[in-house]
Amino acid sequence: MSQFKKISEEVLVAENSVVQVERTLFDTLKMQAAKSPLHRARLCTHKDAQDRLHEMFIVLARPVYIRPHRHFHKTESFHVMEGSSVFFFFDDAGAIEQVIPVGDAASGRPFYIRNDDSRFHTHLITSDFLVFHEITNGPFNRADTIYAPWAPEETDSAAILTFVEKLRSAAAQFGEAR
């Protein structure tokens, strides 16, 4: 862990020019995600928010809620290392347009998604933890993330429960309800 600097309870950042990630780091990130109020933790292998390329290992613990969002002029790739989830893509009004169950390479499901579409998207975690490697273009600017106005804010617990049930119902059509 000496090659990583702790930025917060949820974020570690690489300090070295050559970054090595071992499987044991996933266990550390899982413990952090389990303790986090937002049920997430990440290791940024890029050194700072201004880098042109951002690479992260992200752990999401169920029952994490990722508010549907979109980005213009950004590409994201998502490679599942462990666990499973269901990706959802929505139209501007919030109707579900596409559902993609994903899992690690051994699961038989797609394990990689590259998204350069500007549709709203989120995912529903269907395992205890989801560990994935994400790559996107930087620099990071919070204003580049546009949250769906029809989706609950992360502070609205009751609305989140209703919204997540809607996602579970849609996922059930694909054999993914949990």
| pLDDT higher than threshold 70 for residue 118 | yes
Confidence of residue 160 (pLDDT cuts 50, 70, 90): very high
pLDDT for position 178: 46
Full domain range(s) for residue 123: 4-172
- In a domain, residue 80? The reply is yes
Domain count, the chain: 1
- In a domain, residue 178? The reply is no
Average per-residue pLDDT in the chain? 92
- In a domain, residue 98? The reply is yes
Q: Average pLDDT, stretch 109-123?
A: 95
Q: What percent of the chain has pLDDT over 90?
A: 81
| pLDDT higher than threshold 70 for residue 176 | no
Report the CATH number that the domain containing residue 131 is assigned in CATH.
2.60.120.10
- In a domain, residue 74? The reply is yes
- In a domain, residue 37? The reply is yes
Q: Average pLDDT, stretch 60-71?
A: 96
Peptide bond into 63 cis (omega under 30): yes
Number of neighbours of residue 81 by Cβ within 10 angstroms: 17
